[in-house]
Structure formats: C-alpha cells, structure tokens
Amino acid sequence: MNWPQLDWHQISMWLTVFVLGYFIFLNLGYFTLNLIALWSLRRLRQERILDNLPQAWSGLEPPISILVPAYNEELTIAAAVRSMLQLSYGEYEIIVINDGSRDATLAVLLKEFAMHEAPETYRLQLPCNTVRGIYRSTQYRNLRVIDKENGGKADALNAGINASRFPLFCGVDADSILQRDSMQQVVKPFIFDGAVVASGGTVRIANGCEISGGFLTKVNLPSNPLAIMQVVEYLRAFLFGRLGWSNMNGMLIISGAFGLFRKDVVIEVGGYRKATIGEDMELVVRLHRILHAKGRKYKIQFAPYPVCWTQAPEDLKTLKNQRVRWQRGLAESLTSNLGLMFTWRPSVAGWMAFPFMLLFEFFGPVIELGGYIFTFFAAYFGLIAWQVFGIFIFIALGLGILLSLSGLLLEEMSFHLYPKRRHLIYLMLAAVLENLGYRQLNAWWRLIGMWRWLWNSKSHWGEMKRKQH
C-alpha cells in the first residue's frame, strides 16, 4: 500500500495560518469586548454627576456581611479590619475567618478588638471544617471572628457564610485595600435590579500608591517594571474585558479579592467548592450553570469604578505562582461546569463566554506558545519562509500591542486614575514591552498551570510578601 506523500510545506503553512487566525480572533474578541465596555462606560460617565453628589441613605439599603478569610495574616489583619470598620455604609457586619493560622493572627485579633468567646448558634448550611470558636468584639458590635481548622479559602468562606446574618455577603481578601465607599458602589446593581445575584468590584493595583489608615490616599504608578506591566494587563484583560461580558450577562469570574453575592442563591448552588483552587471563578460559573438550567432570571454584574486595591507580585517567583494557580483555577472551573456550554436554551454565558474562555484562555497558552515555537522551527528547517515567520510575529505582536494600548485608551476615557504625564508615558511603554516577553512568559506559566491541573499536582498559594501599611 502506498502512503500518500505528506507535503510538509503545505502542512506547515496551514498550521501557520491557523495560529495566525487564532491570534486575530483572540484580539478581535477582546476588541469587541472593549467596544461593548466603552458603551457601558459612556453611560456610567454620563451619570457621574449623580455619583458626585452627597448621597442620602434611607437605611433600607440591604445589609451586608463582609467575610474576610485570613491565613497567617498577623502583620496586616488588624489594620485591614480597622479600615473595614470605617467603611461608609448603613448596616454591615465583619466576620473574620481565621483559617487555622499557624502564626498569631487570632491572638492579634482577640487583643486588638477586645474579643471574647461568645455562645453562638452556628448553622451548618454549607459544609466546612470544624469551627473551634466564635468570638465577638466588645468594642465593635458588628465584628466577629470565627476560629476554625484549616481548610483553605473556599472552606473559610463557607464557614463565614454559615455564620453571616445578612442577605448579601462580600468576600474580601485580608490584604485588600478598600475605599470608604466600596460597599456603596458594589451594592448598586442589587439596589437597581432585583435580578442581580452577584456583583464584582474592580480590583486595581495598589503598588506604588500611598496608603494611610488602611485606605488608599493617593494613586501612583508602581516603580517596579513587573508591577507596571500588571497595571496594563489588569486594564486590558480584567477590567474592560469583564465589563464587556458583564453587559451581556456573560461574566464568568468575580475576583476573590472583592465580590458581593446574594447569600441564599450561593447556598442554593452549594457554596464555594472546596476541592478547587480557583473557588472564586468556579462559584460564578456554577451560578450561571445552575441558575440557567433552572430557567431563573438572574444577572451577574460588574462595578467598573475602582473599589478594591491589591498588592501585585513584584518578583518573578511570586508572579509565577499566582499565574500557575490562576490557570489551574480556570481549568478546574471550566471542566467542572462543562454543562454550561452550548445549553439547549442559548445564553451569552453558555454560547459565547464559556467557549471564549475555553478556546482563548484555557487552550490559549498551548496555541500561543506552540505557535511561536512551531513557526520558528518551521522557518529554521525551511518549511516556511523566514518572511512568513516575520509576518506572523509582526501581526501577533502588533495586535497584542494594539489591544494593550486600547486598554489604556479606555482608562483615559473613563477613570484617568494616573494623573501625571510620566505615568502615561510609562504605561504606554509598558503596553508595548508587555508584549515582548511578559505575555509569552505568562503563557509559559499558564502552560505549567495546565500541566499541573492535568496531573493533579498539589498546587499552593505560595507566600505573598506582605508589606505592613
């Protein structure tokens, strides 16, 4: 039998065209999201005059339980809680969940806030590891601490939900820096629309900013180049991308650093899933899947004004751990909710957002890195012309830079948080340089995350180098 002779040249060219097409569609997808985000931002900007007026609060705004999972946060937990106690909101409670810390986190809380162990009926609405004690502050009536056996962030949040008293809960990272009006901003979707079940707050990069008393007092650009690139990355991918999806009710992730949820709905879908490292995304995807399957009218929205600031990694090792963890979380979230994709009753979440995430975020690192490596070696071995390789690099990088710059453009049109001229210049430089190594490095780390997910390696949060404010 004669095997057909393979034309490696043709195959190589087709593969090159495929990768090229992939890059084009990826960037076109994000551009489209940016355009949708732009429309939404325009409407929000038009209403800015209302936000700047003194707000009259009726006391009927829904009360909120702020849940703060804490693990080994002895250096920063007291300051974090103090700042949360100063939030400008009608009625709220703070529940810190000490997730089996090995340092003095609990001792710090008990001392700083004059807490004593109080009898409390604890409802096990969601499974969680053993709760060792519940403490109440004698100084702040709206502050409690749950001390429990270590079980991870998801487990800690479930424990917090069990103890919470209010219909909305807000999961906040212990190192998140909030603004005084953060709750007012993130609760707005719930006030204006009864169908909203979750609302994500915008997370911005706190590196370089001035912080006082646990609050951000002045916005500044980081001095660390890695952090500056993350500023651009956050604008491109996390801010405007999510806002675009939110407009279509297709947002599949709410940052674990700051998200507001309807408690009854989260309990209905089973709470946070313990066996996942990306518990924030997994919950939101599951909300979409289950609520859509039940035919319920629901919305998951995004509050685009900055409400939460967080420290971004400034060294490669910590950044790598973060990105490996995120990719693993993405993989877990998508694969455990495949039922959302292409449901018989169409939805943006199931027919657009989910396939988009799968194709461009989940498989993205494989195709992106694979594309670079393949085209290089194809050109090296003469299967494609070097000219073709050059054009591929030209368009891949060109579109990437254009997308990063478009994120900056949207920032300039809407929030302009970075007021100085040199900020703008550094950001524009970062938008270019981000595509010359940083994105590729990220793709490599995401590939590692996928590999670890495939082989079910134990993934860990790593140690984030804390700075005391």
Partner 1 sequence: MRNISFDPIIAVAFWGGVLAAALCLVVVLEIAYLRWALLREKRQEQAFRSVWQSLLLQALLGNAPATLPPLRKHERLFFLRLWIQLQESIRGVSASAVSAIAQSVGCLAFASELLNSRDRSAQLIAILSLGHLRDASCWQQLSRFLLADDSARSFSALRALVQIDPARAARELSPYLLIRADWPLPRLVSLLQTEVQLFSTPLMQLIQESEGEALEKALRLANALHLQPPLKFVRQLLQQQQAPNLLAASLRIANLPQLLPDVRALAKHEDWRVRVQVAKVLSNIGLPEDVDVLLTMLSDRQWWVRYRAGQALLELPFLERQRLNELAQTLDDRFARDILHQLLDQVG
Where does this chain bind partner 1 (CB under 8 A)? Answer: 4, 6-7, 10, 13, 17, 20, 24, 43, 45-50, 52-54, 56-61, 118-121, 123, 136, 165, 191-194, 387-388, 391-392, 394-395, 398-399, 401-402, 405-406, 408-409, 412-413, 416, 421, 424, 428
Q: Residues with Cβ < 8 Å from 21, sequence gap 6 or more? A: none
Nearer to partner 1, 218 or 467 (CB): 218
Nearer to partner 1, 369 or 424 (CB): 424
Q: Smallest distance from the beta carbon of 426 to partner 1, in angstroms?
A: 13
Q: Smallest distance from the beta carbon of 245 to partner 1, in angstroms?
A: 21
Structure tokens at 215: 């609050």
Structure tokens at 384: 């494609």
Q: Smallest distance from the beta carbon of 244 to partner 1, in angstroms?
A: 17
Q: CA angle, corner 87, sides to 83 and 91, nearest 5?
A: 130
Q: Residues with Cβ < 8 Å from 1, sequence gap 6 or more? A: none
Nearer to partner 1, 120 or 314 (CB): 120
Distance CA 400, CA 371 (A): 14
Radius of gyration of the CA atoms of the chain, in A: 23
Nearer to partner 1, 166 or 363 (CB): 166
Q: Smallest distance from the beta carbon of 129 to partner 1, in angstroms?
A: 21
Nearer to partner 1, 110 or 284 (CB): 110
Q: Smallest distance from the beta carbon of 202 to partner 1, in angstroms?
A: 20
Element (H, E) at 148: strand 143-148
Nearer to partner 1, 300 or 399 (CB): 399
Q: What is the DSSP string of 14-67?
A: HHHHHHHHHHHHHHHHHHHHHHHHHHHHHHHHHTHHHHTSPPPP-S-SPPEEEE
Nearer to partner 1, 319 or 388 (CB): 388
Q: Smallest distance from the beta carbon of 451 to partner 1, in angstroms?
A: 31
Structural contact between residues 138 and 114, judged by C-beta atoms closer than 8 angstroms:
yes
Q: Smallest distance from the beta carbon of 401 to partner 1, in angstroms?
A: 6
Burial of 59 (0-12, 13-18, 19+ CB in 10 A): exposed
Dihedral sign (CA 372, 376, 379, 381): negative
